[in-house]
Structure 1
Amino acid sequence: MKSRNLFLTFIATSFLSTGVMANTDKDALPLSAQPVPLTTAVSPEFYEFSKNFPAANVEALQKNLPKTESEWRAFVDARDTPAIERAESLAKTLGVTIEKDSIGGVDVYWVTPKAITPELKDKLYVAVQGGAYMLNSGLASTSEASIIASKMQIPALAIDYTKSIDAPAPASRNDIVKVWNALLKTRSADSMVMGGTSAGGALTLAVTQELNKQALPVPSALYVGTPGVDMTMTGDSRYVNEGLDHILGSWRGMSSALVNVYVGELELTDPIVSPINGSFENFPPTYLITGTRDLLLSDTVRVHRELKRAGVDAELNVYEGQSHADYAVAFGTPESEEHYQALSNFFYGNLVK
């Protein structure tokens, strides 16, 4: 037996020896310079979307970054104005109505679809819109809430939490907790689900960790779309997908600058801003989604693994060729339709028992 094991070790070493000898740095591996074509293993619609969406310019993302408050506000205004227009157009297209309100001192928007599934009339989707913690204020906070409310035929509530340009973490998390506590006065936790994309997904995790810390009831299920759960430069996809992700482009430069505003005086590793370092015990069932070109693929995979280790019912969905949040950006493609239908089924199964 010993000689057989030695033989197998020799064979394995022989196969691997060329690669091992080619790289002497034990802490880092060089990436191939081979061009990566658009994947054809996707729907024709998504292929056309990808072909018409320019690749990120990694170098440009590291230049002319906002530094002063006025520069950051100009950055936000230039993006939020068209985002609000898109949200209004999307709501009209989907036939949802939007009504502004205030809960717990936080601005919110009730999003109501044309038709509501009878079993869901007393249920609620609590939406946490993404936007790098700084973008998508006002009506722009309703975009994905409109999609999910319409697709699932469920009432939704979009939380317009404090953005990082006005106050760093944990202000945004605390706003969502305030709204949740107020909702619990008139609704049961198991009648509500919560989630969002990107910063919305990460905040959903941070909020749930805080609810558990305070021994408060948590939602019946979570939606965590391509979350940034580690504010440090950690995870394979931060390197491998740099330049491939046509949404984020790179963690270096603009993404890191946005993160620094959000983190404020906290450490980058603090679980408040890096929920991967927090506890995932007592989490409800969680639906996760990412793509093979997503800069935050590793973040999503790492969260899924932590949830599984904690014994949580966690469903990981990885789509070929998708960059960060492409399922939302390429809304209407078969891949997007498949995702939102799967998410609706997941939520329904946890709300109606």
Structure 2
Amino acid sequence: MNQIRSIIRPLLAVSGALLRRVVRRLLCGPAVASWSWGVELRVVALRAFVAAGAGQGSGQGRRRFEERLDPPLPRRLRGLVEVERGEVGGVSGEWMRRTGFDDTATLLYLHGGAYISGNPATHRQFAARLTWAAATRTFVLDYRLAPEHRFPAGLDDTIAAYLALISSGVDAESLFVAGDSAGGGLACALLLRLKDEGRPLPAGAVLFSPYTDLEHTGASISANAATDYLPLTMGDAQPNTLYLGDHDPRDPLVSPMYGDFSGLPPLLIFAGSREMILDDSIRLAEKARRDGAEVTLHIEPDMMHVWPAIVPGHPASLRALAITAEFVK
């Protein structure tokens, strides 16, 4: 019964939110002038779904829902991208390859989900698009999640997978790391820890709306609350204790915007001007630049959190993939 409720609750929340937004848009117009009906309703549906999961405390209901997901590849990529389960460094995940190509660049992809949700299946369609656009062999890591596995479990899994790729013969100069939201923060933490331990560094990192401040101190959280889908409780400015426990939220390995980026490889950072954690990307880029790192920060007008995965056919999403492909080359 509890499992049924965990599925029905978010579906009812989404249905109600969509109905209310249709009425509101008809009466008052779009939340953002440039948003089509499709874009706006997708943001509303996601906000309701995420909020329903957040309302259950640890997000376990949302995770049970996600564990049942087995989405197909995007229609136009079926037969062009291959997906298979795998394991790297003792950590499971999904390998993606372009069918018939011998791509030399390898991408370690870290999914988002605030460190408490998400898995390779939830990000399969976006990772497939990224694999095709960037011409990479991609491993989407199924790292351990909080609250069962708090910091540094996810980072330890990421380190293990990265070092296993290097040990298997993958050249660090052709290895890139990428991630969205919490996965973007985890990618930064990986770079910082690799540097601290004197390990080989990857060729670069691609960060989609990285989550780099687990204290939630950015002004954009409140300023953009009406135009994003992240849980509104983030606006309470409480640290992410589900992941942190009692760990210091200003540790650079959990909030990378406090890290030392000197000597690290180039960073490509994407952020939407309408997303709640926009300030996480801006402050990360500013800190990395002060440390002498090569940073490209692309802020897409009128876009929400991790928009290339949310509205994949939008010109802004296609633009982000093209920029990523050029960066990896």
Question: Could you tell me the TM-score, scaled by structure 1's length?
Answer: 0.77
Deviation of 1:89 after TM superposition, in Å, equals 3.7
2:303 counterpart SS class: coil
| CA gap 1:302/1:345 in 2 versus in 1, 3 angstroms | same
Residue identity matched to 1:306: K
Deviations 1:38-92 (A, max 9, x none): 444x5xxx6343233354879x94998324x7xx4323112343xx333x34388
Rounded Cα–Cα distance in structure 2 between residues aligned with 1:110 and 1:318: 30
Rounded Cα–Cα distance in structure 2 between residues aligned with 1:64 and 1:168: 17
Q: Is the 8 A contact 1:293 1:321 kept in 2?
A: yes
- Within 5 Å, give how 1:255-270 maps onto structure 2: 259-270=240-251
After superposition, the CA RMSD in angstroms is: 2.7
Match of 1:202 in 2: 185
Rounded Cα–Cα distance in structure 1 between residues aligned with 2:222 and 2:97: 41
Rounded Cα–Cα distance in structure 2 between residues aligned with 1:63 and 1:182: 34
Deviation of 1:164 after TM superposition, in Å, equals 1.4
Asked if 1:111 corresponds to 2:96, the answer is: yes
Pick aligned residue for 2:272 from 280, 288, 291: 291
Residue identity matched to 2:194: L
Q: Is the 8 A contact 1:304 1:314 kept in 2?
A: yes
Deviations 1:83-140 (A, max 9, x none): x333x34388453111112222111221011253x6xx22211111112212222533
- Within 5 Å, give how 1:1-353 maps onto structure 2: 38-40=31-33, 42=34, 47-53=36-42, 55=44, 61=51, 65-67=55-57, 72-81=59-68, 84-86=69-71, 88-90=72-74, 93-94=77-78, 95-116=80-101, 121-185=103-167, 186-249=169-232, 251-252=234-235, 259-348=240-329
Residue identity matched to 1:130: G
Match of 1:11 in 2: none
Deviation of 1:203 after TM superposition, in Å, equals 0.4
Q: Is the 8 A contact 1:129 1:159 kept in 2?
A: yes
Q: Is the 8 A contact 2:222 2:235 kept in 1?
A: no
Q: Is the 8 A contact 1:99 1:109 kept in 2?
A: yes
Q: Is the 8 A contact 1:247 1:323 kept in 2?
A: no
Question: What are the ranges of 5 or more consecutive residues in structure 1 without an aligned counterpart?
Answer: 1-34, 349-353
| CA gap 1:89/1:187 in 2 versus in 1, 3 angstroms | closer
Residue identity matched to 2:121: L
Deviations 1:14-35 (A, max 9, x none): xxxxxxxxxxxxxxxxxxxxx9
1:52 counterpart SS class: helix
Deviation of 1:199 after TM superposition, in Å, equals 0.8
Residue identity matched to 2:129: I
Structure 1 range deviating more: 294-303 or 125-134 = 125-134
Rounded Cα–Cα distance in structure 1 between residues aligned with 2:124 and 2:53: 31
Aligned length: 298
Rounded Cα–Cα distance in structure 2 between residues aligned with 1:252 and 1:126: 31
Residue identity matched to 1:230: D
Identity of matched residues, %: 21
Deviations 1:246-299 (A, max 9, x none): 34445137x968x22111231222222111122111111111011111101100
Deviations 1:118-171 (A, max 9, x none): 6xx222111111122122225335443212111122211111111113300111
Give the number of the structure whose alpha-carbon radius of gyration is greater: 1
Rounded Cα–Cα distance in structure 2 between residues aligned with 1:260 and 1:170: 13
2:36 counterpart SS class: helix
Q: Is the 8 A contact 2:106 2:170 kept in 1?
A: no
Q: Is the 8 A contact 2:216 2:238 kept in 1?
A: no
Residue identity matched to 2:187: T
Question: What are the ranges of 5 or more consecutive residues in structure 2 without an aligned counterpart?
Answer: 1-27
Rounded Cα–Cα distance in structure 2 between residues aligned with 1:224 and 1:155: 18
1:139 counterpart SS class: coil
Rounded Cα–Cα distance in structure 1 between residues aligned with 2:98 and 2:149: 32
1:203 counterpart SS class: helix
1:196 counterpart SS class: strand
| CA gap 1:250/1:108 in 2 versus in 1, 3 angstroms | same
Q: Is the 8 A contact 1:137 1:163 kept in 2?
A: no
Deviation of 1:241 after TM superposition, in Å, equals 1.0
